Amino acid sequence: MIKYSTYMLPNPIHPEKGSLAYAKAQVNEVLSFRKFVQHIADHGGYTRGKVKGVLSDMCTCLVEMLLEGKKVQLDELGDFWISLSSDGAESCEKFTANNIKAVNIVFTPGVDFENLLSKAEFETVASRSAQSATLKAEKTGKGSVDLEAAKNKANSSKNEGDGDNTPSGGTPSEGNTPSGSEGSENSGNTDSGTGEDNEL
């Protein structure tokens, strides 16, 4: 079940159209590596130790292969490869490896991650800021809560930290919902991609 709350957000492309309501996914739980390993072990015939070992070795080998410039295809999981972020030089002759500032991991989801919308179930809930304000009011014995003030306070903070998937990196465009991902593309990234890849 995916829980979400709604927020009014302006459209930076068409500010004259006013704000529209968009959804923000809320994280239900942060699943640790240990719990994830146990979940896999519970669903298969492998011990927790074997699952942990395979996953740990996979991460080590994946990094090794990526640093060798290889594209790693993991079937249902997806494909991994690297892109580079660099500072521009006046000419190709003047460009050196020192201009490269970051090695980014690019991930394209596999078939098991396709069409998640048709598989997902949704539940609307109050925003984290509203939940926090309500709990605080209940503890202090207040009979009412100023939800607008609570939301404004949360929005004015640089880092709300409320667990919502804030669409600060998305751009509302032609009625489309912001993606919710932080803008991860770096200036100078020489890989144009297809628009479907995600840099990790």
CATH code assigned at 11: 4.10.520.10
Residue 147 lies in a domain: no
Region 19-47: mean pLDDT is 91
Residue 9 lies in a domain: yes
**147, 130 contact by CB (below 8 A):** yes
Residue 122 lies in a domain: yes
Distance, in Å, from the CA atom of 171 to the CA atom of 154, rounded to the nearest integer, reads: 20
Residue 33 lies in a domain: yes
| Number of structural domains found in the chain | 1
Instruction: Give, in order, the Cα–Cα distances in Å from 47 to each of 32, 50, 58, 143, 200.
Output: 17, 5, 17, 52, 29
Residue 61 lies in a domain: yes
Reported as a pLDDT band with limits 50, 70 and 90, residue 184 is very low
Please check the confidence at residue 168 and state whether its pLDDT lies above 50: no
Query: Nearest 5°: phi and psi at 147?
Result: -65, -35
Please check the confidence at residue 55 and state whether its pLDDT lies above 50: yes
Residue 133 lies in a domain: no
Residue 56 lies in a domain: yes
Please check the confidence at residue 198 and state whether its pLDDT lies above 70: no
Q: Residue 57 sits in which domain range? A: 2-127+164-199
Residue 18 lies in a domain: yes
Q: At 134, is the secondary structure helix, strand, or coil?
A: helix
Distance, in Å, from the CA atom of 173 to the CA atom of 5, rounded to the nearest integer, reads: 20
